[in-house]
Amino acid sequence: MAVPGENLRINPDRLWESIHELAEIGPGVAGGNNRQTLTDDDAKGRTLFKSWCEGAGMSLGLDQMGTMFARREGTEPGLDPVYVGSHLDTQPTGGRYDGVLGVLSGLEVIRTLNDLGIRTRRPIVVVNWTNEEGARFAPAMLASGVFAGVHTLDYAYGRKDPEGKTFGDELKRIGWVGDETVGARKMHAYFEYHIEQGPILEAEHKQIGVVTHGQGLWWLEFTLTGKEAHTGSTPMNMRVNAGLAMARIFEMVQEVAMSEQPGAVGGVGQVKFSPNSRNVLPGTVVFTVDIRSPEQAKLDRMRARIEAEAPKICEALGVGCAVEPVGHFDPVTFDPVLVARVRAAADKLGYSHMNIISGAGHDACWTNRVAPSTMIMCPCVDGLSHNEAEDISKDWASAGADVLFHAVVETAEIVE
Ligand code: HGY
Ligand code: MN
Ligand code: MN
């Protein structure tokens, strides 16, 4: 089985240009992107990506969750394909590279194979997963979760955004409902290339992250019930203050996560006060606690402590407390054979590398349940992500894409 020669590289300029052309769609307010899932901008980005895939001679498949599968044929079409992908949806104040780098590097692998006239035994499929971010419709990695059998299609279609719109209705509205049964596709292997979204690779001066594991995660949605009252005329001893209970829970979450160091994180990114009026004590406060660890025992201990202590905090203030898990996956161990192939590719290409655990969740965390999967990471400036100032260099981007090219093509098997 032939493997790609170490002199074969992708086209860095073309990859970089495609990333920044897509970034014109759904711009943010500070140089990043706001291309949230199932919005009109998401639809525009999908249309552009589809045109690029067709321009590269690929055929497009679409499943009932709107996930896009662009296929380059192999010399043996009956073999299970090698999949490579990520996501094109962004956070409301997202960067240009989170998700996009992986999808467009997958496209760049195909474009480079076309340039070189290389055929592979196995087909190669480039994937754009719907709703990886979970910003508009919780949970994150929703489409890959349905694909892996973790969520039902009905559950996913019923998820609501903050305005009460359902996933199913919005997918239909933008015209991207496919007819393929979700999860019917068989994957020989899945690769995902992604920015690290943390500070390690840059601090260690490494070009490539060989991702061996992924953190596990819980998203615990709390609904605290206080009593709406005047912030001025209500005496302190007469208040049923859900906002104060929230603040004390935040402190407790911080203390729980710090008690599990190293290798644990906990925090809150989203809070909703009702009625959210500056001179009314909140009647309800809704927020999602995000806790993560690569170690199952730590993750379980954090969840247990938080769910035990939050009600006590609320009870002491006469505040109602309800909690619902709205997102979860266990710590992930990626496929050792594919991990070794990524490491060997980095060595062959002369790129510095180190093993790393993914701090963020990715679609690969779900595909890993149904097919051998792994990830490749590149550094990002100051480890910053989920911020419009997210930044990487063209060199970093293309080094990871070179490694992706070699790992994917070796797995798809070159035909002499
Ligand atoms: O939440 C995550 O880790 C991912 O960015 N969706
Ligand atoms: Mn991402
Ligand atoms: Mn993200």
Q: What Rg value do the Cα atoms of the chain yield, rounded?
A: 22
In the prediction, which pLDDT does 285 show?
98
Ligand 3 centre distance from Cα of residue 383 (Å): 13
In the prediction, which pLDDT does 7 show?
87
Ligand nearest to the CA of 133: 1
Does the annotation place 80 within a ligand binding site?
no
Query: Which two structure tokens, joined as six digits, stand for 8?
Result: 């074969």
Taking the CA of residue 141 as reference, the ligand 1 atom at the shortest distance is 6
Q: Which residues have any ligand 1 atom within 6 Å of their CB?
A: 132-134, 140, 360-361
In the prediction, which pLDDT does 376 show?
98
In the prediction, which pLDDT does 3 show?
83
In the prediction, which pLDDT does 1 show?
59
DSSP 238: G
- Residue with CA nearest ligand 1 atom 6: 133
The C-alpha atoms of residue 367 and residue 126 are separated, in whole angstroms, by 14
In the prediction, which pLDDT does 58 show?
98
Taking the CA of residue 217 as reference, the ligand 1 atom at the shortest distance is 3
**Strand pairing report for 208-214 and 265-274:** unpaired
**What tens digit of pLDDT does each residue of 248-264 get?**
999 999 999 999 999 99
Q: Integer distance in angstroms from the first to the last C-alpha of the chain?
A: 9
CA atoms within 13 A on the CB side of 158: 5
Ligand 2 centre distance from Cα of residue 394 (Å): 18
DSSP 81: P
**What tens digit of pLDDT does each residue of 165-209 get?**
999 999 999 999 999 999 999 999 999 999 999 999 999 999 999
Ligand 2 centre distance from Cα of residue 409 (Å): 23
- Mark the ranges of the chain whose per-residue pLDDT is less than 70: 1
Residues 170, 400: contact at Cβ < 8 Å?
no
Residue that is written with structure tokens 């594991």 in the block: 213
Does the annotation place 386 within a ligand binding site?
yes
